Amino acid sequence: MTTRTGTERQSLLHRIFPEKRIFVKSDNGTRFVRLGPRHHLVALFGGTAIVLWSVTATSFLVIDLVKGSGERQQAAQEKAVYETRLNAMAEERDTYRLAALEAQANFTRALDEIGNFQDTIFDAALSRQEYAARQDALRRLLRDSLTERDLLQARLDTLTADSGDATLADLDRSRAEAERTVAFLTRALGRTAEDRDRLEAEADAARVQLAAISNDLDTRNRANERIFSQLEEAVVLAMEPLGKMFTEVGLPPSAILRQMRDQYSGQGGPLTPISLSTKSYDSDPDSQRAEAILAHMDELNLYRMAADKVPFAEPVSAAVRRTSGFGYRRDPIKGGTRLHAGMDWAGAYGTTVNATAEGVVTQAGWQSGYGRMVTISHDFGIETRYAHLSKITVKKGQRVSRGDKIGAMGNSGRSTGTHLHYEVRDSGTPVNPMKYIKAGRDVF
């Protein structure tokens, strides 16, 4: 039974894969190669294995390309957000600074107006007191005159009864003189009363105007309070993440600010707080708050300038793929485990390579295994290297800014393909570039 089954299987194989012969003719004769069912099966299995391997490798390659495209899109989006937020922070800082200066100027003008009106009210009060004193003096003089008139009238009546015509004429003259004196005093008293009423009206108008100015000043003070509060909150929200960003890369914020002040110690300095004066008055709380806000804005501006000098950006912005990170890995050329002192990005030949921070080019040429390399020295003891370039577009000693083109991606030096090798060194020691890039992404 077993023999019969084996015979049937061989018969089935012969029907599916019939035996074939390949004849080879030469000068020595004709030969042939026999291809039986087993050879057909081996070829079939081998071809199937090759096809399956090709499909699997293609799938992995497609997945890798899709993943790399997603990372490039994410990097481009993060860069756009970084630039937009940086510009918005600069505009917001300028707006808040102008608002603070305008609020302080309005406050100074209001103080000047109040001072002038206080002087006017004081002068009016003095004039009113002076006229009141004059009025009292005239009233006393009028009472004395009336009393004297009454005495003279009584004496006239007495003399009229006891004296002749000559004495009566003298008394008439005295009486007329007294009446003229009384009339003069009455007119003077009337004018004094008119002046008093006029001064009271002016004082009332001044009090109404002072009340209006006080209300306007209260309104301005409330507006200033809102502006100051918004400015203080905005400055705090802007400074905290910046300080954290420098701390994460091992740069103490206090040392950063001190070095930037020393570096920009010219007349006035960047955004140096102005000294506001209100005549001979002492510094008021609003002026002190404005000085404090301007001082914080000065620190914010110093942080921004310092951020341009630290490599928080990525060296390439085109469609690239990160192929190798920082750390120990197997050497792709000589084998063995070695420290990879930077990061690798693979992309098209000639892809633009940009400076990641402001600095001075200290090397621009061939460097052993690095190939064509550019080295940039930054502040705070930081150095960046850009290796395996196909072209260098800067010279030694040249000052560059963040985003400036310094070369193009290539395959020079000890390299297995077109890519950029990027290093960050702190005081000569290689550090992980992603520490700086990630710190910048968290803020911007």
DSSP string, 187-248: HHHHHHHHHHHHHHHHHHHHHHHHHHHHHHHHHHHHHHHHHHHHHHHHHHHHHHHHHHHHHH
pLDDT of residue 276: 46
pLDDT of residue 140: 76
User: E-strand spans in 241-336?
Assistant: 321-324, 327-330
Strands 321-324 and 359-367: unpaired
**Which amino acid is residue 24, in one-letter code?**
V
d(CA 57, CA 59): 5
Q: Which residues contact 120 (CB under 8 A, 6 or more apart)?
A: 206
Q: Which residues contact 235 (CB under 8 A, 6 or more apart)?
A: 96, 293, 296, 297, 300
Positive or negative, the CA dihedral 262, 268, 273, 276 is: positive
Q: Which residue has the tokens 């039974």?
A: 1
Q: List, as one string, the DSSP characters of 269-296.
A: -TTPPP----TTPPPPHHHHHHHHHHHH
Strands 343-346 and 371-377: unpaired
Vertex 134, ends 129 and 135: CA angle to 5°? Answer: 95
Local structure of 22: helix, strand or coil: strand
Domain 312-443 sits in CATH at 2.70.70.10
- For the chain, what's the residue count? 444
How far is CA 171 from its chain centroid? Answer: 97
Q: Count how many Cα atoms sit within 13 Å of the Cα of residue 264 in the half-sphere of its side chain.
A: 17
d(CA 356, CA 310): 8
Please state the pTM of the whole predicted model: 0.50
d(CA 336, CA 232): 56
Q: Tell me the backbone φ, ψ of residue 362, rounded to 5 degrees.
A: -105, -15
Going by C-alpha positions, the residue among 443, 434, 441 that lies closest to residue 74 is 441
Strands 337-340 and 382-392: unpaired
Tokens matching residue 383: 């150095």
3-state helix, strand, coil in the chain (%, to 5): 60, 20, 20
Q: How far is CA 63 from CA 53, 93, 319, 341, 442, in A?
A: 15, 45, 16, 28, 28
Q: Tell me the backbone φ, ψ of residue 301, rounded to 5 degrees.
A: -65, -35
Local structure of 410: helix, strand or coil: strand
Beta bridge mates, 364: 374
pLDDT of residue 277: 47
d(CA 161, CA 219): 79
Per residue in 379-418, is it b (16+ CB within 10 Å) or e — as a string? bbebbbbbbbbbebbbeeebebebeeebbbbbebbebeeb
Q: Structural domain boundaries of the chain?
A: 85-308, 312-443
Low-confidence ranges of the chain (pLDDT < 70): 1-6, 9-10, 12-17, 20-35, 40, 66-72, 75, 82, 100, 103, 107, 110-111, 114-118, 120, 122, 124-125, 131, 145, 149, 152-153, 155-172, 174, 265-283, 331-337, 442-444
Q: Count how many Cα atoms sit within 13 Å of the Cα of residue 118 in the half-sphere of its side chain.
A: 7
pLDDT of residue 401: 94
Local structure of 365: helix, strand or coil: strand
**Which amino acid is residue 396, in one-letter code?**
K
